[in-house]
């Protein structure tokens, strides 16, 4: 069975992460999930974004990772996407980049605290930085264990992945997710901008912080049952 609409959307979002300035060369990928069909569609490995077409997108079983459609090899990060999609049911789109500022936090092994309302509008608190993988984890199943470490961190910290739809992987790079591939892209863009603003903010005031009641107000006015921001459908 063809999944043409999903492949078109995943192809479009992969191209958009380049237009958004989040990707250099082929350092990134986007995936999308159709939960009713039980599939995940993802960019093929190493294919230039300018040449990427919907028919190049690889479709896999969400449960097993078996390739169902496509003649190209899927992204090397596919096991991470699969694990996150399996464990975070709200993540119907996942975007992985090596965007400069967010990746700088990853390389420094630093979490991204909420310093202002731009961050609070999208992330309900600190974006965590996940521990580095062990030698055994890297050797045995590096990409799969990247996903395991991310899920482990959210469980241990008690973070709802729907409220903080992004993560910083220690020594690696960021991942973001959302209800759709387009929403995952938006969250990846916001993550990079918040990381950039944090770096600039700390240059001006290393002790900057946002009071919790303002964080709560800004997030909850846009998310949850009491949200009132924007127009109602």
Q: How far is CA 191 from the centre of its chain?
A: 9
Contact call for residues 177 and 91 (beta carbons, < 8 A): yes
Is-above-0.85 flag for pTM?
yes
pLDDT value at position 154? 98
pLDDT value at position 233? 64
Count the alpha carbons within 13 Å of 14 in the hemisphere toward its beta carbon: 32
Which residues are identified as catalytic? 121, 229
Residues 190, 196, 200, 201: is their CA dihedral positive or negative? positive
pLDDT value at position 46? 87
pLDDT value at position 171? 95
Question: Which residue(s) pair with 166 in the sheet?
Answer: 176
What is the CATH code for 4-220?
3.40.225.10
What angle (nearest 5°) sits at the alpha carbon of residue 108, between those of residues 106 and 113? 70
Split the chain (233 residues) into runs of 10 and give each run's mean pLDDT: 88 95 90 97 92 95 95 95 97 97 98 97 96 96 97 97 97 97 97 98 96 90 79 70
* Selection from 177, 102, 172, 111 nearest residue 138 by Cα: 172
Calculate the alpha carbon distances from 184 to 81, 97, 200, 212 in Å: 12, 11, 25, 25
3-class SS at 158? coil
């Amino acid at each position: 069975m063809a999944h043409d609409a999903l492949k078109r959307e995943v192809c479009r979002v992969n191209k958009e992460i380049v237009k958004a300035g989040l990707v250099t060369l082929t350092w990134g990928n986007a995936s999308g999930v159709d939960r009713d069909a039980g599939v995940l569609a993802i960019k093929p490995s190493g294919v230039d974004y300018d040449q990427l077409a919907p028919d190049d997108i690889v479709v896999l079983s969400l449960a097993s990772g078996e390739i169902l459609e496509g003649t190209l090899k899927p992204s090397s990060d596919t096991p991470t996407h699969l694990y996150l999609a399996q464990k975070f049911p709200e993540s119907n789109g996942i975007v992985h980049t090596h965007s400069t500022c967010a990746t700088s936090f990853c390389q420094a092994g630093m979490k991204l605290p909420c310093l202002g309302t731009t961050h609070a509008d999208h992330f309900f608190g600190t974006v965590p930085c996940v521990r580095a993988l062990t030698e055994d984890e890297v050797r045995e199943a590096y990409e799969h264990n990247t996903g395991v470490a991310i899920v482990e961190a959210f469980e241990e910290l008690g973070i709802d992945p729907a409220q903080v739809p992004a993560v910083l992987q220690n020594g690696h790079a960021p991942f973001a997710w959302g209800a759709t591939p387009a929403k995952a892209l938006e969250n990846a863009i916001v993550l990079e901008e918040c990381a950039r603003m944090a770096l600039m903010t700390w240059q001006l005031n290393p002790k900057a912080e946002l009071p919790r009641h303002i964080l709560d107000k800004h997030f909850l006015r846009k998310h949850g049952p009491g949200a009132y921001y924007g127009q109602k459908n």
